[in-house]
Amino acid sequence: MLRILFNLVHGVSTPFILRILGLLHAPLVDDPAFSGYIAPVIGLVATLSLIVLVGLGTANFLGQRIVREFDRLMLRIPVIKAIYGGTRQLLDALDSKNSNFQRVVMVEYPRTGVYTIGFLAKQDATLVVSEKGGSIEGHSLVFLPTTPNPTSGWLAAVPAREVIPLEMSIEEGIKTIVSGGLVIPPGWERR
């Protein structure tokens, strides 16, 4: 993605820079080293500047308003609304600053002796299975994300006694899952 952005900015900026320098009668314009090496560096600086400006734009009031309006637009489109809204809620829940998840846990899944890292959504839930009063008690709701995209995954009702709490923050759990286990919290290193 950055390569595409760099090529786009470089393709636009290099001729523009060469034209301005030509109008100023700068001696560097005809130098092949300038157009081959210095102009791409200027394009790189322009690309980085564009990224910073977009970041600053979304961080200020106007940028936040644009993002809010985009959210409102997406939530008005019938088919997109369900997908975008659900994904947005999950991303908000995975945000380590204001996470709705209680903690990082492990459950034995998909078979005995194999454990999956997940996020505890609700502890000691009573699951109502029918309108006639049927319920299952003593279960915890655990979100089990997939690697490398934690927004996909599933919610599992796991017996509370089988949920193993882990000593890691929500942020560390997300990093571990997204990296496929390449980034692990302190204390998990092999000895």
Domain ranges for the chain? 2-59, 62-94, 103-178
- pLDDT at residue 167 above 70? yes
143 in Cβ contact with 151 (< 8 Å)? no
- Sorting pLDDT into bands at 50, 70 and 90, what band is 142? very high
170 in Cβ contact with 101 (< 8 Å)? yes
- pLDDT at residue 95 above 70? no
Strand partners, 135: 128
- pLDDT at residue 88 above 80? no
- Sorting pLDDT into bands at 50, 70 and 90, what band is 191? low
Cα distance between residue 126 and residue 140, in whole Å = 9
Cα distance between residue 185 and residue 167, in whole Å = 9
For the chain, percent of residues with pLDDT exceeding 90: 16
- pLDDT at residue 74 above 80? yes
Average pLDDT over residues 115-144: 85
pLDDT for the residue numbered 14: 73
Which of 48-52, 118-122, 153-157 shows the lowest per-residue confidence on average (mean pLDDT)?
48-52
pLDDT for the residue numbered 98: 56
Strand partners, 108: 115
Considering Cα of 7, then 13, then 19, then 25, what sign does the dihedral take?
negative
Cα distance between residue 61 and residue 81, in whole Å = 25
Cα distance between residue 18 and residue 30, in whole Å = 9
Range picked from 75-79, 133-137, 158-162 for highest mean pLDDT: 158-162
* Higher pLDDT pick, 160 / 68: 160
Considering Cα of 132, then 136, then 142, then 147, what sign does the dihedral take?
negative
Average pLDDT over residues 40-49: 75
